[in-house]
């Protein structure tokens, strides 16, 4: 989402699907394996071993939510449990690097992640390399998108992260996550939606300098650098979630998926972000899952079809079609052999001109409750993580 907490959403483009097979390549044409990431010179720390396959290929599909204040405060999850008759088993939440990155002190809360695990929910920590206190007017291709958190933040340019400018902060975060041990794995959704223009790491962000291809290559190098820092610290209880935004086959200002894919070694889980949404009207538009995700699936399949996939961030806008679209979303994921679950963004976003909540009205809640009751989706239970 164009920032799940701070941004005005960009245009979401309706799309169609297909399946291909190919070999991923980097932005400069080289195979992914030829780029040289940061390599630590000293011996790595003792690792925390977990059986990732158990989490990446669950017996029942993930039913995840973003719910305000969770998992720091689990009261909204209790409400969802009561409303739907089924507790989610994945909790999506967000944390920007902010000033902690320069003060070299992690702002990752072990208590917050532990809350999710204790509740029976996998914490999916969306970790964003920018400062949300930096405010101003945003531009893309010379067009003003209003004021908010600045999209262009050159202090957080991916090349500076790759150069090691923020390594103390990254190491402290890796150490904190590692301390949770194998009983509380963390799905680390690092710098999502890189094929957009609304983040400093976005390959479409012309304010960061360079070309789309050079920005894509810088993002890949940054991802690999951060992965190596974590690996060196032995934080192997991390599930690395690479999460691009949906994009149209006809949209020439976005990079190819192969250009922004960090490589098989560095990605455990492929997430997709996309919403049932008419950007012009701020409402739903009688779309199908194929309309929303199809073209992106077509582009991404040659790159990472062998990885487990998750709809990492999604929702349905207000409108007369909302109940039907909620059912379409959940039923399609339930029937899909490609996706192992979904995460619903259950919040009212006034700056998006829409209400994403599935419980915003009785018809939408009834549709959600009926669809999620399927035995295909897991029921979160305390102690299950």
Kindly list the structural domains of the chain, giving each domain's residue range(s) and its CATH number in brackets, ordered by start. Answer: 32-372 (3.20.20.80)
Amino acid 26: pLDDT = 38
More confident residue, 245 or 24: 245
Distance CA 17, CA 285 (A): 18
Q: How confident is the model at residue 47 (pLDDT cuts 50, 70, 90)?
A: confident
Q: Is pLDDT above 70 for 233?
A: yes
Contact 149, 128 (CB under 8 A): no
Amino acid 29: pLDDT = 32
More confident residue, 35 or 310: 310
Amino acid 249: pLDDT = 64
Amino acid 384: pLDDT = 78
Mean pLDDT calculated for residue range 297-316: 96
What are the backbone dihedrals phi and psi of residue 2, each rounded to the nearest 5 degrees, phi first? -65, -5
Mean pLDDT calculated for residue range 301-321: 95
Amino acid 41: pLDDT = 43
Contact 266, 227 (CB under 8 A): yes
More confident residue, 108 or 250: 108
Distance CA 232, CA 221 (A): 16
Mean pLDDT calculated for residue range 55-67: 96
């Amino acid at each position: 989402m164009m920032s799940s907490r701070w941004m005005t959403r960009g245009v979401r483009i309706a799309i169609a699907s297909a399946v291909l097979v190919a070999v991923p390549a980097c932005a400069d044409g080289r195979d992914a394996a030829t780029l040289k990431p940061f390599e630590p010179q000293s011996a790595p720390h003792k690792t925390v071993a977990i059986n990732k396959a158990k989490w990446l290929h669950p017996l029942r599909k993930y039913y995840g939510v973003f719910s305000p204040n969770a998992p720091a405060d689990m009261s909204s999850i209790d409400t969802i449990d009561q409303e739907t008759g089924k507790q989610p088993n994945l909790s999506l939440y967000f944390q920007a690097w902010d000033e902690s990155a320069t003060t070299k002190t992690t702002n990752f809360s072990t208590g917050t992640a532990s809350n999710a695990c204790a509740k029976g929910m996998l914490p999916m920590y969306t970790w964003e390399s920018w400062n949300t206190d930096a405010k101003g007017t945003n531009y893309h291709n010379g067009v003003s998108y209003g004021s908010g958190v600045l999209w262009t933040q050159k202090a957080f340019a991916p090349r500076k992260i790759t150069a090691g400018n923020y390594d103390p902060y990254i190491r402290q975060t890796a150490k904190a996550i590692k301390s949770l041990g194998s009983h509380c794995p963390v799905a680390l959704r690092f710098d999502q939606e890189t094929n957009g223009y609304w983040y400093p790491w976005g390959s479409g962000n012309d304010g960061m300098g360079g070309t789309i291809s050079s920005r894509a290559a810088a993002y890949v190098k940054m991802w690999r650098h951060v992965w190596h820092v974590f690996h060196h610290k032995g934080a192997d209880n991390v599930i690395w979630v690479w999460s691009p935004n949906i994009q149209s086959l006809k949209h020439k200002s976005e990079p190819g998926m192969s250009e922004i894919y960090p490589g098989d070694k560095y990605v455990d889980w492929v997430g997709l972000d996309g919403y049932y949404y008419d950007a012009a009207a701020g409402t739903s538009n009688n779309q199908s899952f194929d309309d929303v995700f199809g073209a992106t699936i077509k582009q991404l399949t040659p790159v990472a079809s062998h990885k487990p996939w998750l709809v990492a961030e999604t929702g349905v806008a207000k409108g007369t079609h909302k109940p039907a679209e909620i059912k379409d979303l959940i039923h399609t994921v339930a029937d899909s052999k490609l996706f192992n679950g979904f995460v619903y963004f259950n919040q009212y976003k006034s700056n998006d001109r829409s209400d994403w909540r599935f419980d915003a009205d009785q018809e939408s809640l009834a549709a959600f409750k009926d669809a999620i009751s399927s035995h295909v989706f897991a029921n979160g239970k305390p102690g299950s993580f």
